Amino acid sequence: MIQDIITIIHDYWLLLLIGQYPNGPLGGLANTIILSLLAILLAFPVSILLALARLSKWRALRWPVTGLVYVTRGVPLLMLILWCYFLVPLWTGADVPSFLIMLVTLVVYEGAFLSEVVRAGIVSLGQGQMDAARALGHSHLSAMRFVILPQALYNMIPSMISTFVSTIKDTTLGYVINVPDLTFAASQVNNQLFTQPFQVFIILAAVYYVLCWSLTYVANSLERRIARRRAGPRRNARLATEAVPLKTLVEQP
Amino acid sequence: MTGFDLSAILTNSDYRAMLLHGIETTFAIYVGSWLLAMTLAILLLAFRMSPVRIGEPIVKAYISYHRNVPTLVQLMLWYFGIFTLLPQGLANWLTDHNAEAIFAIIGLGLCQAAYFSEDLRSGLRSVSPGQMEAAKALGHGYISALRFVVMPQGVRNALPPLINHSVSLFKNSSLAIVVGASELTHAVKEIENLSFRTFEIYLVGTVLYLFFSLIIMGAGAYLSMRADPARRARA
């Protein structure tokens, strides 16, 4: 069993790492990481806009966005992928690569989830920050830009990393529309070997485990550091525990 | 292809039967894996809090594995991997009894147990130790203090994340399509292939998922409201 696993890694490590890159599209682990990085980077500004719209005082802005966030949260990611797979080529009228379709889906999906994180971050700062900024002569937008968002986003860094981890896990669903990522590469290996599915998929699980575990570890240590910083240098321990509860729920894929 | 026509899907009895069968399988997978997950979560929690030293690291490893490996990969490992390692007799029996749905239930249930167990644990931890001491001072035994004092508060605190994760379990049941279980998403794709009315059938599928998710969320909100002592005292 162990021998088989070592042989598979030895024979196929390049395919699992970059897919068929020089001779075909980039794939494998590299593509998984690029896809999830791009998705989170593009979803981030989207989520801030969505969060500001949900906190806006205009109903015309607040209600449609609230509806959008609820729909995105109530529908399985798989269904969204199927929608994008159908709609994106229809709108653009071109043959869109599955990588781009997956990217669009992830930006919408993670954007909606991240917007809840951003909103929680802004709300948890309290009204006082906004009132003080307005009293000092900031307009609503400039208070957001210079006072509220810098604090809220800093406090959100751990939640952001956990969203990144769930994005990595969500990219596996690209398998359904043949996005050439790590899962796709592993199933290619499985199709070539045919007799050792358990060994192939245990390798796949192990790679994802190492990737996500290390990111979660970073998120947790950052979270402790930020909680300490929010509590301030010379406060007592009771305040430190009060500062912690910005633990926003992040959906698992 | 002609214009938008929802009735072409909804009045066709074949498609209706396929959708109904899909909903049935989705709910079988959802209820089965929810029950498996909750039972396992409670067992894991009990094992973790028991005086057995080995319990803590084992449960930690279990939870860490199931939270850091994508659910889809776990399902694939179960269906494509572990299925082939089973003895022939058992494998044949499973094939005769809808192996796809059974492995979907096992895979999703084991994965979700990790999340449920963490939710319950953080709920219980938020009950201050003074509650247990006070209950004991009033003459409760350990079990009875747990049952009447600590558990009701702990489960109440754990309700919001438990509801969230119950909804995401429902959405994750759509992953069973990858191992070939004939659930709702599978039915939607099948009808799309037969009717070519992609937009209409996707709309039906999306509305169905949204409807059931909102029902689960609503039931959860009702439960939380019922559990809230302040509201109960007023009523």
Distance CA A26, CA B128 (A): 53
Residue B84 reports pLDDT greater than 90? no
Average pLDDT for B86-91: 87
| Cβ–Cβ < 8 Å for A84, A72 | no
Neighbours of B233 (CB within 10 A): 7
Has residue A249 been placed in a domain? no
Has residue A248 been placed in a domain? no
Residue A191 reports pLDDT greater than 60? yes
Q: Which residue of B has its CA nearest to A85?
A: B198
SS (H, E, C) B186-220: HHHHHHHHHHCCHHHHHHHHHHHHHHHHHHHHHHH
Do residue B85 and residue A198 have CB atoms under 8 angstroms apart?
Answer: yes
Angle between helices B13-49 and B151-172 (to 10 degrees): 140
Has residue A219 been placed in a domain? yes
Question: What pLDDT is stored for residue A233 in this prediction?
Answer: 64
Do residue A197 and residue B80 have CB atoms under 8 angstroms apart?
Answer: yes
- Judging contacts by C-beta atoms under 8 Å, the chain B residues touching residue A249 are 161, 164
Distance CA B227, CA A247 (A): 23
Distance of residue B6 Cα from the nearest chain A Cα, in angstroms: 17
Average pLDDT for B75-99: 88
Phi and psi torsions of A19, nearest 5°: 70, -145
Has residue A105 been placed in a domain? yes
Nearest by CB to B73, from A74, A76, A172: name it: A172
Neighbours of B44 (CB within 10 A): 22
Average pLDDT for A2-26: 83
Pairs of CB atoms within 8 A across A/B: 119
Q: Which residue in B80, B82, B171, B207 has the most chain A C-beta atoms within 10 A of its own C-beta, making it the best mutation to test that interface? A: B171
Residue B228 reports pLDDT greater than 90? no
Question: What pLDDT is stored for residue A249 in this prediction?
Answer: 45
Average pLDDT for A15-34: 85
Has residue A235 been placed in a domain? yes
Residue B61 reports pLDDT greater than 90? yes
Question: What pLDDT is stored for residue A234 in this prediction?
Answer: 56
| Cβ–Cβ < 8 Å for B79, B108 | no
CATH number for A135: 1.10.3720.10
Has residue A18 been placed in a domain? yes
- Judging contacts by C-beta atoms under 8 Å, the chain B residues touching residue A172 are 70, 72-73
Q: Which residue in B60, B65, B72 has the most chain A C-beta atoms within 10 A of its own C-beta, making it the best mutation to test that interface? A: B72
Where in the sequence is the domain holding A176, given as residue range(s)? Answer: 2-243
Question: What pLDDT is stored for residue B102 in this prediction?
Answer: 93
Question: What pLDDT is stored for residue A243 in this prediction?
Answer: 45
Question: What pLDDT is stored for residue A250 in this prediction?
Answer: 47
DSSP reduced 3-state for A195? coil
DSSP reduced 3-state for A1? coil
Average pLDDT for B49-70: 90
Question: What pLDDT is stored for residue B175 in this prediction?
Answer: 93
Asked if the C-beta of A105 comes within 8 angstroms of chain B's C-beta atoms, the answer is no
Which structural domains are found in chain B, ordered by start?
A: 7-227 (1.10.3720.10)
Residue A127 reports pLDDT greater than 90? no
Q: What percentage of chain A carries pLDDT values higher than 90? A: 44
Distance CA A11, CA A167 (A): 29
Distance CA A19, CA B198 (A): 32
The pLDDT mean for chain B works out to 89
Do residue B68 and residue A212 have CB atoms under 8 angstroms apart?
Answer: yes
- Take residue A54 and report the two structure tokens written for it: 């949900």
The dihedral through the CA atoms of B219, B164, A81, B180 has a sign that is: negative
At B233, is the pLDDT very low, low, confident or very high (cuts 50, 70, 90)?
low
Question: What pLDDT is stored for residue A95 in this prediction?
Answer: 83
DSSP label of A174: G
Tracing tokens 């900024």 back to the chain, one arrives at A133
Do residue A198 and residue B84 have CB atoms under 8 angstroms apart?
Answer: yes
Distance CA B155, CA B133 (A): 19
Distance CA A132, CA B103 (A): 57
Average pLDDT for B122-147: 89
- The string of pLDDT tens digits covering residues B153-185 is 888 889 989 999 999 999 999 999 999 888 999
Do residue B81 and residue A201 have CB atoms under 8 angstroms apart?
Answer: yes
Distance of residue B135 Cα from the nearest chain A Cα, in angstroms: 25
Has residue A252 been placed in a domain? no
Give DSSP secondary structure letters for A114-150.
HHHHHHHHHHHH-HHHHHHHHHTT--HHHHIIIIIHH
First to last CA, chain B: 57
Structural domain count, chain A: 1
At A228, is the pLDDT very low, low, confident or very high (cuts 50, 70, 90)?
confident
- The string of pLDDT tens digits covering residues A42-76 is 999 999 999 999 988 888 889 999 999 889 888 99
Residue A125 reports pLDDT greater than 90? no
The pLDDT mean for chain A works out to 86
What ipTM describes this predicted complex? 0.87
Give DSSP secondary structure letters for B87-113.
-HHHHHHHHHTTHHHHHHHHHHHHHHH
Has residue A77 been placed in a domain? yes
